[in-house]
């Protein structure tokens, strides 16, 4: 046994133990014959750094993998990083810009080489930060979505899907980020409400007989209008259907068509249709028979005005930025008398009506996104989604919390084609080669493409790369060595569980389901656990702009990784968002300190590491009780972890450790193990108790290890000689034979009696050092026997001495526990009259506050109009005051 220092220092312990675990390969110990258990991490961006969401996500994963390892499984947590196409390219381009260079100063190969150079030097900072959190990942087999083996898997999947007709090239509208110069997915678009305008325009009929009114929030797009749509049921326009209008500025003649997209109840009931620049209009154009190749495009890749196929845009508009062009076009429409003025409440005219408009922005660039018509590669997601939908319906994969199933089904059943090509240089270049005649050859290598094209056919490789999520969708099996390795035979596919934030359910989780079922015929994970967000203390979403982002590394510096991890687990309640509460983290640091001090107490009283997995033999009721309590805690913890109730699991081990072991058991055994004058007690009872206490502390360290790995490993190593580290110890046995109802009832009775006496002494201001006699009335034979057996514990914990004979006259407090009444004469210890007066006044004050708060809460005006947090505080205060009044009344009633 190595004596523990007085002070618990998390920083020193954490750095020492993590290095030891990793150096000895203990995150993936060799366990031939053991059942495999596998979990893969959501690969963080190689550009990333640890944020509070990562801290939650990875803490929950580490709890499960450490628990599986302790259960004897061949547990492996697959770790790696994602190449993060857009994010990484942006980082390297910013570095080039800082030295007055840009990407296009280099060839593609040169630029990609610079990205790899950056990755080797600076990428992966987050992996070091995950180590600080205590994540027991299989670092020896770390993967990267651009490493050679992974790239091989990506190429194979693309080629196979193309052969199966599930990947194809098509001209469609995409979300175009003009700042980054690439398509992005719907999921990478953030919609924000911004102040904008609503313009109404007159489009003159071709025959000059009148006009039709349309409205728009993007007047510049009229340069590429191809129709005006009205509803077939709208009688106002029946006679106009089939006629044409002549567009202002371009003079283009466009037809008036019918489509249900036009709502007779909205505005004029007529809508301008620009199929090349609006997603709804694209669908309308398709229904009207306009082929995508014939849809007009009026913007280039930088969102500048470009000439349309019919050449009708005036030369002076070409090259203008879209928003600059908007100003010019609005003025021209006004000058031409086409713009219908908006009248405000005072009757003043304005060019447009002010409106708040839901506007799409790129989540990385912050640029307004344009729907843009372009050739891209698409995955037939609807076909791939069908088996993934059935897998959840059948229970092959269970989603926890189950409430997320509805969202999953809704999205998957309405899934759109997945655009997987991106106009970047960093990423997996699409394995497709173009011939001059427009033929496309998809193959895993240029040689195979050339062989398919034939000798002498000049080929050019598609410069685009794949969407980052395309490669990460292969993570559960490509990280295992697929396609070269039979990952199903290894038992590591499907993974046992996947933990992710609900915000990447469609980015990543659903796509892994689709690809795993398509290529391995099985779901990629048996359970999908979706956790919520970590929010600021006031419930707001964290964001840099709000200045409320919490740095988890700062919290680790301040309180230790164990405290932060325990907070995350204790607050995670099946998908509900977590409110950041630094006081709670501080409280869990105090919990670690309490455990540390308990271990020091054990050391100083001859309690050392246990030598047995099974509980030691025990005769004393207190020892039989704590053994039973330990087994009950193991059972509760096992159930909570099986159900992925992280908060319940954390609360179980917290309450058992703090209340049962530290507060009660160690106090109850002091009379047994502590002799006179600081000399440890000897004898069978003392030795039995030391053996039991050492065993219980060991069980606590093992149970707590998944949540607080550092302090538990340190204490495990210091309590006595061991033949293995705690990280690879054996999980406690939940043996119901150890449950002992008789001992449980006796110690429960003792705790209730001591608690009642302590509470009464406190309420009546009995001096802490005063010893009181205790008499008992109406005691059963069992209670009398317990009083004899527990005399030393009662004397020490309640500071009472058992008395015989009649209760002396005068004031006394009375306590009822089960059938017996315990009477404690107060004699001269307390001024009874003064105490009664004090209690009566305190009760009146508490009741007054209670009733005042009740009146406030009963006022509908307050409940409906006040801030929710103010109402919640009032309810909490009311409950506190009601409890205080009840407690004080009980204290007054106790006085005889």
Neighbours of 855 (CB within 10 A): 11
Average pLDDT rounded to a whole number, residues 184-205: 92
Q: Which residues pair with 172 in a beta bridge?
A: 374
Task: Dump pLDDT digits (tens) for 693-740.
Answer: 999 999 999 999 999 999 999 999 999 999 999 999 999 987 777 778
Q: Is the pLDDT of residue 6 over 60?
A: yes
Three-class secondary structure of residue 509 per DSSP: helix
Average pLDDT rounded to a whole number, residues 500-517: 94
* Residue that has been written with the tokens 């990423």 in this structure: 427
Task: Dump pLDDT digits (tens) for 659-669.
Answer: 999 999 999 99
**What order of strands is seen across the sheet that includes strand 495-501?**
74-78, 36-40, 495-501, 525-531, 398-400
Angular region, 617: left φ>0, alpha ψ -120 to 50, beta rest: beta
Q: Is the pLDDT of residue 232 over 60?
A: yes
Q: b vs e for 717-736, b when ≥16 Cβ sit within 10 Å of the residue's Cβ?
A: bbbbeeeebbbebebbebee
CA separation for the pair 734, 746 (Å, rounded) = 22
- Specify the pLDDT at position 891: 73
- Name which of 256, 271, 161 is nearest 218 in CA terms: 271
Higher per-residue pLDDT: 608 or 831: 608
* Residue that has been written with the tokens 């313009």 in this structure: 199
Alpha helical stretches, state H, 705-831: 709-718, 741-763, 781-789, 791-798
CA separation for the pair 305, 391 (Å, rounded) = 47
Alpha helical stretches, state H, 164-214: none
Q: b vs e for 562-594, b when ≥16 Cβ sit within 10 Å of the residue's Cβ?
A: bbbbbbbbbbbebbeebebeeeebebbbebbbb
Average pLDDT rounded to a whole number, residues 555-565: 97
Q: b vs e for 243-253, b when ≥16 Cβ sit within 10 Å of the residue's Cβ?
A: bbbbbbbbebe
CA separation for the pair 878, 856 (Å, rounded) = 10
What residue ranges do the domains of the chain occupy?
A: 33-145+476-562, 156-165+380-470, 182-362, 580-739, 747-894
The reported pTM is 0.86
Task: Dump pLDDT digits (tens) for 238-249.
Answer: 999 999 999 999
Q: Does domain 182-362 have CATH number 3.90.740.10?
A: yes
Task: Dump pLDDT digits (tens) for 611-630.
Answer: 888 999 999 999 999 999 99
- Name which of 705, 708, 710 is nearest 728 in CA terms: 705
Q: Is the pLDDT of residue 92 over 70?
A: yes
Task: Dump pLDDT digits (tens) for 247-298.
Answer: 999 999 999 999 999 999 988 999 999 999 999 999 999 999 999 999 999 9
Three-class secondary structure of residue 2 per DSSP: coil
- Name which of 818, 849, 838 is nearest 891 in CA terms: 838
Got the DSSP string for 245-268?
EEPTTT--EEEEEE-TTS-TTSTT
What sign for the dihedral angle of Cα 476, 480, 482, 488?
negative
- Specify the pLDDT at position 653: 98
CA distances from 569 to 62, 68, 314, 646, 731 (A): 11, 17, 63, 5, 19
- Residue 304 CA to its chain's centroid (Å): 40
**What order of strands is seen across the sheet that includes strand 459-461?**
440-442, 432-435, 459-461
What secondary structure letter does DSSP report for 657?
Answer: I
Higher per-residue pLDDT: 227 or 545: 227
Average pLDDT, the chain: 92
Task: Dump pLDDT digits (tens) for 8-29.
Answer: 999 999 999 999 999 999 999 9
CATH homologous superfamily of 580-739: Isoleucyl-tRNA Synthetase; Domain 1 (1.10.730.10)
Q: Is the pLDDT of residue 828 over 80?
A: no
Angular region, 506: left φ>0, alpha ψ -120 to 50, beta rest: alpha
Q: b vs e for 126-144, b when ≥16 Cβ sit within 10 Å of the residue's Cβ?
A: bbebbbbbbbbbbbeeebb
Q: Is the pLDDT of residue 166 over 70?
A: yes
Q: Which residues contact 21 (CB under 8 A, 6 or more apart)?
A: 27, 136, 713, 725, 727
What secondary structure letter does DSSP report for 486?
Answer: -
Counting residues of the chain whose pLDDT is more than 90, the rounded percentage is: 76
Report the interhelical angle of 781-789 vs 791-798 (nearest 10°). 70
- The tokens for 330 are 């609005």
Domain 33-145+476-562 architecture: 3-Layer(aba) Sandwich (3.40)
What secondary structure letter does DSSP report for 358?
Answer: E
- Name which of 302, 299, 296, 305 is nearest 177 in CA terms: 302
Higher per-residue pLDDT: 895 or 55: 55
Q: Which residues contact 167 (CB under 8 A, 6 or more apart)?
A: 158, 161, 377, 378, 379, 380, 420, 442
- Specify the pLDDT at position 63: 98
Alpha helical stretches, state H, 99-212: 108-121, 125-133, 148-163
Same fold, 33-145+476-562 and 580-739: no
- Name which of 277, 52, 265, 89 is nearest 176 in CA terms: 277
- Specify the pLDDT at position 214: 96
Q: Is the pLDDT of residue 896 over 60?
A: no
- Specify the pLDDT at position 861: 81
End-to-end CA distance of the chain: 53
- Name which of 863, 759, 729 is nearest 70 in CA terms: 729
pLDDT-derived band at 211 (thresholds 50, 70, 90) equals very high
Average pLDDT rounded to a whole number, residues 571-588: 92
Higher per-residue pLDDT: 730 or 549: 730
652 and 640 in contact (C-beta within 8 Å)?
yes
- Specify the pLDDT at position 750: 94
Neighbours of 37 (CB within 10 A): 22
- Residue 368 CA to its chain's centroid (Å): 28
- Specify the pLDDT at position 894: 67
Question: Considering only 353-367, 535-549, 843-857, which range has the smallest mean pLDDT?
Answer: 535-549
- The tokens for 407 are 């969202």
Neighbours of 739 (CB within 10 A): 16
- Specify the pLDDT at position 322: 96
């Amino acid at each position: 046994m190595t004596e523990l220092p007085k002070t618990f220092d998390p920083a020193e312990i954490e750095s020492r133990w993590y290095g030891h675990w990793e150096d000895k390969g203990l995150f993936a110990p060799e366990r031939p014959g053991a059942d495999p258990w596998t979990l893969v991490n959501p690969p963080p961006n190689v550009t990333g750094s640890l944020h509070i969401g990562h801290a939650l996500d990875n803490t929950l994963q580490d709890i499960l993998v450490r628990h599986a390892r302790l259960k004897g499984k061949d547990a492996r947590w697959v770790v790696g990083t994602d190449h993060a196409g857009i994010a990484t390219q942006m980082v390297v381009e910013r570095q080039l810009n800082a030295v007055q260079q840009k990407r296009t100063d280099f060839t593609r190969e040169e630029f990609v080489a610079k990205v790899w150079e950056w990755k080797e030097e600076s990428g992966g900072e987050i992996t070091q930060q995950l180590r600080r959190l205590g994540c027991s990942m299989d670092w020896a087999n770390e993967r990267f979505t651009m490493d050679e083996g992974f790239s091989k898997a990506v190429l194979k999947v693309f080629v196979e899907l193309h052969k199966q007709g599930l990947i194809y090239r098509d001209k469609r509208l995409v979300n175009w980020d003009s700042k980054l110069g690439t398509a992005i997915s719907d999921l990478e678009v953030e919609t924000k409400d911004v102040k904008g305008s609503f313009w109404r325009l007159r489009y003159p009929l071709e025959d000059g007989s009148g006009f039709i009114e349309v409205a728009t929030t993007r007047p510049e797009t009229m340069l590429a209008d191809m129709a005006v749509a009205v509803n077939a049921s709208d009688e106002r326009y029946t006679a106009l259907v089939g006629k044409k209008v002549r567009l202002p500025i371009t003079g283009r003649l466009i037809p008036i068509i019918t489509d249900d997209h036009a709502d007779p109840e909205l505005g004029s009931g007529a809508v301008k249709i620009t199929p090349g620049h609006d997603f709804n209009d694209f669908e309308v154009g398709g229904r009207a028979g306009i082929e995508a190749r014939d849809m007009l495009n009026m913007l280039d890749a930088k969102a500048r005005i470009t000439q349309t196929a019919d050449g009708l845009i005036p030369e002076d508009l070409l090259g203008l930025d879209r928003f600059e062009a908007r100003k010019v076009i609005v003025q021209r429409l006004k000058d031409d008398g086409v713009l219908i003025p908006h009248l405000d409440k005072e009757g003043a005219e304005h060019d447009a009506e002010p409106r708040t408009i839901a506007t799409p922005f790129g989540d990385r660039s912050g640029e307004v996104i344009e729907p843009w018509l372009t050739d891209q590669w698409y995955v037939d997601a609807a076909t791939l989604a069908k088996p993934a939908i059935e897998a959840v319906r059948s229970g092959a994969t269970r989603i926890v919390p189950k409430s997320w199933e509805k969202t999953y089904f809704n999205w998957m059943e309405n899934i759109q084609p997945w655009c997987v090509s991106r106009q970047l240089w960093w990423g997996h270049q699409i394995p497709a080669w173009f011939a001059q005649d427009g033929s496309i050859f998809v193959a895993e290598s240029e040689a195979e493409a050339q062989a398919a094209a034939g000798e002498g056919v000049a080929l050019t490789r598609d410069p685009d790369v794949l969407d980052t999520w395309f490669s990460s969708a292969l993570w559960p099996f490509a990280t295992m060595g697929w396609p070269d390795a039979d990952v199903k035979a290894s038992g590591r596919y499907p993974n046992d569980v996947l933990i992710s934030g609900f915000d990447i359910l469609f980015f990543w989780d659903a796509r892994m389901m689709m690809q795993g079922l398509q290529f391995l015929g099985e779901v990629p994970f048996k359970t999908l656990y979706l956790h919520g967000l970590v929010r600021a203390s006031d419930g707001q979403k964290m964001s840099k702009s709000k200045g409320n982002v919490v740095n988890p590394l700062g919290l680790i510096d301040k309180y230790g990784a164990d405290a932060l991890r325990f907070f995350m687990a204790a607050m995670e309640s099946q998908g509900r968002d977590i409110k950041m509460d630094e006081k709670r983290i501080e409280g869990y640091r105090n919990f670690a300190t309490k455990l540390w001090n308990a271990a020091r107490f054990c050391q100083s009283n001859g309690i050392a590491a246990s030598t047995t997995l099974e509980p030691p033999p025990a005769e004393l009721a207190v020892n039989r009780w704590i053994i039973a309590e330990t087994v009950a805690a193991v059972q509760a913890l096992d159930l909570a972890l099986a159900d992925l109730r992280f908060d319940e699991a954390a609360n179980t081990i917290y309450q058992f450790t703090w209340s049962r072991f530290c507060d009660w058991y160690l106090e109850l055994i002091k009379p047994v193990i502590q002799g006179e004058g600081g000399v440890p007690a000897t004898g069978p009872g003392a030795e039995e108790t030391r053996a039991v206490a050492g065993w219980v502390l060991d069980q606590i360290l093992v149970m707590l290890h998944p949540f607080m790995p550092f302090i538990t490993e340190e204490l495990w190593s210091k309590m006595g000689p061991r033949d293995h580290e705690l990280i690879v110890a054996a999980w406690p046995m939940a043996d119901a034979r150890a449950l002992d109802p008789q001992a449980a009832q006796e110690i429960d009775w003792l705790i209730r009696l001591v608690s009642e006496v302590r509470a009464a002494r406190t309420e009546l201001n009995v001096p802490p050092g005063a010893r009181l006699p205790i008499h008992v009335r109406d005691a059963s034979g069992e209670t009398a026997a317990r009083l004899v057996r527990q005399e030393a514990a009662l004397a020490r914990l309640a500071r009472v001495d058992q008395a015989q004979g009649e209760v002396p006259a005068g004031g006394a407090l009375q306590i009822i526990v089960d059938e017996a009444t315990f009477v404690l004469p107060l004699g001269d210890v307390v001024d009874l009259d003064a105490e009664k007066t004090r209690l009566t006044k305190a009760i009146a004050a508490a009741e007054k506050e209670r009733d005042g708060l009740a009146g406030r809460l009963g006022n509908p005006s307050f409940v409906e109009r006040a801030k929710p947090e103010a109402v919640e505080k009032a309810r909490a205060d009311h409950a506190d005051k009601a409890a205080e009044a009840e407690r004080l009344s009980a204290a007054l009633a106790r006085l005889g």
